Amino acid sequence: MKSTNDVWAAAALNTSVMAVSAWSAPMTASTAASARLASTANVTDVAFAKAAAEFLRTQDARRPSAKALHGSQPQ
């Protein structure tokens, strides 16, 4: 049988997971992943996750379009 502390800990964990999921719904996948990591990680891991998410975001913004790479395609 579970102790009262185990029941409260499980309830708190479920609540925090639901809160992170609801909070991260409108975000991009990489930002949501870093938010989930932040809920369970230490400060160094959180800083790394934020830096990785920012790097991925800026890389997407810098990626050239297919038209810029190949020019206009003949019809």
* pLDDT of 19 above 60: no
* pLDDT of 53 above 80: yes
DSSP 3: -
The domain spans of the chain are: 4-64
Q: What is the mean pLDDT of the chain?
A: 64
What HEC string does 13-65 produce? HHHHHHHHHHHHCCCCHHHHHHHHHHCCCCHHHHHHHHHHHHHHHHHHHHCCC
Say what the pTM is.
0.29
pLDDT band, very low/low/confident/very high, at 45 (cuts 50, 70, 90): confident
* pLDDT of 50 above 70: yes
Q: What pLDDT shows up at residue 39?
A: 62
